[in-house]
Chain A
């Protein structure tokens, strides 16, 4: 375990005109740690995720990321090119809708291989072998490698998106409702897969979800957001088993028991 966080976020706010997207969010994320951000639609969790992943620039506040050379860099002072490079190599972003994260009209193998080429791999045989390996890790049969994701089911598309994101060995992955819109049985399979990959690869991840069961299964730490603010944070099991804030109590008490 290292003694320095991977990401330091301080007083991050994003306003849309006079409307609050997220306000005054502060936290540290350490390597290998999975942080769940939960809250209802409109609570600001996706705005926060988009600011952190630099897809959106915040109105105020700072976020610094520890690069592979050990130096912290202020995300919002990087050039666009530097941020894109980070996004292509050291980070992953798993979208709720796989179509937003995949190229739907090129083959599954090319979707995975493209990220490898972006980090400088040029050897076709090696790229293809790595793609095959990653497809099997996300439980997609090798004989589907030349198919386009258009021909895949929702669950397969999501698994392909995960493979595309993880193939470059990122240290930080952002996930926006990674199991949203999937059947329950498909969700369970995906969650189990994600859980295994995150543990085996020692990934840090920030997972936005409205599903507390997903948060419990994937994350060690949790932030609860309401109206753009963090109303409660802590160990995931502590927040879920002993919720303190009125809003968290409401969320936890609203879970349907099966």
Chain B
């Protein structure tokens, strides 16, 4: 089977208890699947719920209804109902994620920030660092920055650290939330090449790209999120 991720009838809303319990529907009846070796792109205007869908797939947002079935270590897991411990295992082994912004940790070098997912998967720190050096070089991050914590880096530099952290491992599913938003043309091309390499390696990718050139270069198909619009329901 070559469909590592299947989403069926997922719905999400936010209930704002501090605002008289007003309920903000985000998406409903979200259904799609991702095959190995393809890059599907979530399309639709801002506020349509693209990021919310990615966050549900990563276990970062709770799911109100529906199923998110992922192939994980030879079995099937429903992320919508999985325990925190299972979600952590899925993140470690199966689903990678490049967020829009890097969450920096004080005092940890860029090198170790990127190496961390490899080390969590049991790789030796030194061999992990060697892989990281080569990826950071490919992403044109100046070598003098590698030993520094990324907190003081520019937006584009932080984004490249974040991309490296997501691409360094061999997760079979990779979620990308606007990975090229703050990159220049040269580095956008590097990311396009990295995505192509993941596809060739059989990774299933799902992304959000507002940059049309990048989207056209990587997308195998567009999933229109406006078709999952949730009706406005009063509290």
Contacts and interface: CB of A to CB of B under 8 A. Distances in A.
B15 interface: yes
Residue of B60, B84, B89 most packed against chain A (CB within 10 A): B84
A183 interface: no
Given A241-B60, A246-B18, A253-B18, A235 B88 contact: yes
Contacts of B107: 188-189, 192
A1 B16 CA distance: 38
A238 B84 CA distance: 9
Contacts of A234: 62, 84
B105 interface: yes
Interface in A180-229: 188-189, 191-192, 195, 217, 220-221
15 contacts: A33-B85, A188-B107, A192-B107, A192-B108, A195-B105, A221-B84, A238-B60, A238-B62, A241-B55, A241-B60, A242-B55, A242-B62, A244-B15, A246-B18, A249-B16
Given A244-B62, A245-B17, 19 more contacts: A33-B85, A188-B107, A191-B106, A192-B106, A192-B107, A220-B84, A234-B62, A235-B60, A235-B84, A238-B60, A238-B61, A238-B62, A241-B61, A242-B14, A242-B55, A242-B61, A244-B15, A246-B17, A250-B18
A85 to B, nearest CB: 29
A1 B108 contact: no
**Those 8 A-B pairs whose CB atoms lie nearest each other, nearest first:** A246-B17, A188-B106, A192-B107, A235-B84, A242-B61, A221-B84, A249-B17, A242-B62
Contacts of B108: 192
Range class of the A interface residue count: 20 to 34
A235 B59 contact: yes
A133 interface: no
Contacts of A189: 106-107
A257 to B, nearest CB: 14
Interface of A: 1, 30, 33, 188-189, 191-192, 195, 217, 220-221, 234-235, 237-238, 241-242, 244-246, 249-250, 253
Contact of B60 (A1, A221, A242, A250): A242
Nearest to B106: A188
B87 interface: yes
Residue of A1, A242, A244, A245 most packed against chain B (CB within 10 A): A242
Interface in B68-95: 84-85, 87-89
A112 B208 CA distance: 52
A189 B106 CA distance: 8
Contacts of A220: 84, 88
A63 B59 CA distance: 29
B178 to A, nearest CB: 17
Range class of the B interface residue count: 10 to 19
Interface of B: 14-18, 55, 59-62, 84-85, 87-89, 105-108
Nearest to A188: B106
Nearest to A245: B17
B207 to A, nearest CB: 20
B79 to A, nearest CB: 11
Nearest to B56: A242
A250 B17 CA distance: 8
A220 B60 CA distance: 12
Nearest to A220: B88
Contacts of A235: 59-60, 84, 87-88
Contacts of B17: 245-246, 249-250
A249 B61 contact: no
Contacts of A242: 14, 55, 60-62
A216 B208 CA distance: 26
Contacts of B105: 192, 195, 217
A186 B201 CA distance: 45
Nearest to A193: B107
Nearest to A33: B85
A30 B18 contact: no
A187 B59 CA distance: 29
Contacts of A221: 84-85
A242 B106 CA distance: 24
Contacts of A245: 17
B234 to A, nearest CB: 19
